[in-house]
Amino acid sequence: MNIGFEIVHLVITILFFLLLVMTNAVIMVYAERKVMAYMQDRRGPMHYGPFGSLQSTLDVLKLLLKEIVQSKETDNAVFTLAPMIFFAPVITAFVMLPFSPFMTTSALGTGVILYVALSSLDVIGVFMAGWGSNSKYALIGGLRSAAQMISYELPLVLSLVGVVMLTSVLANNGIGSISFTTIIAAQQHPWWLWFILIQPLGLLIYYTCGLAETNRAPFDLPEAESELVAGYLTEYSGMQWAMFFLGEYGNMLIVTSVATALFLGGWSGPGADLAFWHAHVSANPGGIFSVADLIFNFIGVFWFLVKVYALQSVFIWIRSTLPRLRADQLMQFAWLILIPVTLFNILVTAVLLLAVPQPYTLWVTGIVNWLMVVGYIFLLGRVIGASPKGQLPPWVEARKRLEAAGRTGPALPKPGAVRPALPSNAVPLESESVSTR
């Protein structure tokens, strides 16, 4: 491999990642506004550009020109370094993410470990922002975020262990791999044998932890505007605020890129077959990069980005659907549900991979894991009290309890009807009392 090719490869890859990080935030902000608008029966941005498509671009220009306002009570050094420390791991994480065999800066053999290490550094920047702001709102937001990100880091790491164990079964030497490139290669034969078919529970838990790590709804307590104004971002403005904002959407891109590489086959898809293009296209302009390689890498990057933005669209869907959790619910969900479930998943996967003989190992493991997904959803519904029918008003639940006990009370009003007021000397039944829940 000549030095000229290496230089061209490095420059193209770095420019691609920088452009992707910058444009991803603009694209996702516009998509979030439009999708949430349609889900809420609104129109969203309409005035600037076709269908409001230039609104996000103009917001970027506004942030570039906006004055940075800083309180004199802040710790200047900590306050200024916090956005840089938060944003630096976002850029560094793309070192080990392969969007195609060519579009990666380095095929590190320890890619998963490096990703986990870098993802744990964001909490330092967030806590520094809360502490350096010298504001109670910012400090509480920073402390919340530190507790949340540390708690959900554990099940996030544990959810990836099942994928590493699967590579040990598919490898010829029986040794698993923590390299992103090797894990993607293990899902290429055939191209549709993605690890989501064998480890759906791992993807579900990883994606849930990814929502919490990126402070997205329903895990956006550090930025709870009804309680903390803007959390650790309260005292920031201008480009300092924009760096946190860009880092949040960059973390969304990283979480979905890792999920794509580990569970959705990476760049695999129809047409992403290098041997096919080498057999049918033989042109080689300049001798550095053949047309077959060029076509293959374009198709690979296309399929990778399609999967990434499909997963990012779920971020928007969840934000529009689920309400924000309470702080105690958020911590209980991590420590009492996610961590035990991930440990149980590791145990069951290990037993099945060792006990079930080939060629039935992957089939049995996949079937059992899908059954565990059903059990996990059932357990989640029982623990949090969720129901497809929604939750009834407290006074209706109280009325049903009275009827079950054989007692009678006032008739249930029809939907939309005004309930008559009680006489001043009347004692209300339990069903008529005001609920404090």
Tell me the mean pLDDT in the region 68-89: 88
Task: Kindly tell me if the per-residue pLDDT of 28 is higher than 60.
Answer: yes
Which structure tokens are listed for 247? 């880092």
Please answer whether residues 179 and 109 qualify as being in contact, where contact means their C-beta atoms are separated by less than 8 angstroms: yes
Tell me the mean pLDDT in the region 262-269: 92
Task: Kindly tell me if the per-residue pLDDT of 81 is higher than 80.
Answer: yes
Confidence label for 205 from pLDDT (cuts 50, 70 and 90): very high
Residue 85 lies in a domain: yes
Task: Kindly tell me if the per-residue pLDDT of 216 is higher than 80.
Answer: yes
User: Which residues are CB-neighbours of 293 under 8 A, at least 6 positions away?
Assistant: 102, 274, 277
How far is it, in rounded angstroms, from Cα 51 to Cα 80? 37
pLDDT digits (tens, 9 = 90+) for 293-322: 888 889 999 999 999 999 999 999 998 888
Task: Kindly tell me if the per-residue pLDDT of 89 is higher than 80.
Answer: yes
Q: Is 429 or 98 the better-scoring residue by pLDDT?
A: 98
Confidence label for 409 from pLDDT (cuts 50, 70 and 90): low
Burial class (CB in 10 A: 0-12, 13-18, 19+), 104: buried
Which structure tokens are listed for 372? 């565990």
Residue 255 lies in a domain: yes
Please answer whether residues 150 and 123 qualify as being in contact, where contact means their C-beta atoms are separated by less than 8 angstroms: yes
Tell me the mean pLDDT in the region 83-108: 84
Which structure tokens are listed for 168? 């040990």
Residue 83 structural domain: 69-274+297-384
Cα angle value 146/152/157 (rounded, 5°): 125
Number of folded domains that form the chain? 1
Tell me the mean pLDDT in the region 151-168: 92
Residue 412 lies in a domain: no
Cα angle value 394/381/313 (rounded, 5°): 105
Tell me the mean pLDDT in the region 241-250: 89
pLDDT digits (tens, 9 = 90+) for 319-363: 888 888 877 888 889 999 999 999 999 999 999 999 998 888 999
Residues belonging to the chain:
437
Of 116, 13, 11, 23, nearest in space to 308 by CA: 23
Please answer whether residues 254 and 163 qualify as being in contact, where contact means their C-beta atoms are separated by less than 8 angstroms: no
pLDDT of residue 426: 52
Tell me the mean pLDDT in the region 186-193: 82
Residue 30 lies in a domain: no
How far is it, in rounded angstroms, from Cα 272 to Cα 157? 29
Residue 231 lies in a domain: yes
Kindly give the interhelix angle for 238-263 and 3-39, rounded to the nearest 10 degrees.
100
* Cis amide linkage into residue 218, ω under 30° from 0: yes
How far is it, in rounded angstroms, from Cα 331 to Cα 299? 42
Confidence label for 437 from pLDDT (cuts 50, 70 and 90): very low
Tell me the mean pLDDT in the region 87-97: 87
Q: Is 278 or 368 the better-scoring residue by pLDDT?
A: 368
pLDDT of residue 366: 94
Tell me the mean pLDDT in the region 114-118: 88
Per-residue HEC secondary structure of 112-149 comes to: HHHHHHHHCCHHHHHHHHHHHCCCHHHHHHHHHHHHHH
Residue 320 lies in a domain: yes
How far is it, in rounded angstroms, from Cα 220 to Cα 242? 18
How far is it, in rounded angstroms, from Cα 219 to Cα 196? 24
Tell me the pLDDT of the chain averaged across its residues: 83
Task: Kindly tell me if the per-residue pLDDT of 287 is higher than 70.
Answer: no
Residue 4 lies in a domain: no
How far is it, in rounded angstroms, from Cα 11 to Cα 5? 10
Q: Is 275 or 363 the better-scoring residue by pLDDT?
A: 363
pLDDT of residue 412: 53
Task: Kindly tell me if the per-residue pLDDT of 386 is higher than 60.
Answer: no
pLDDT of residue 422: 54
Residue 48 lies in a domain: no
pLDDT of residue 223: 67
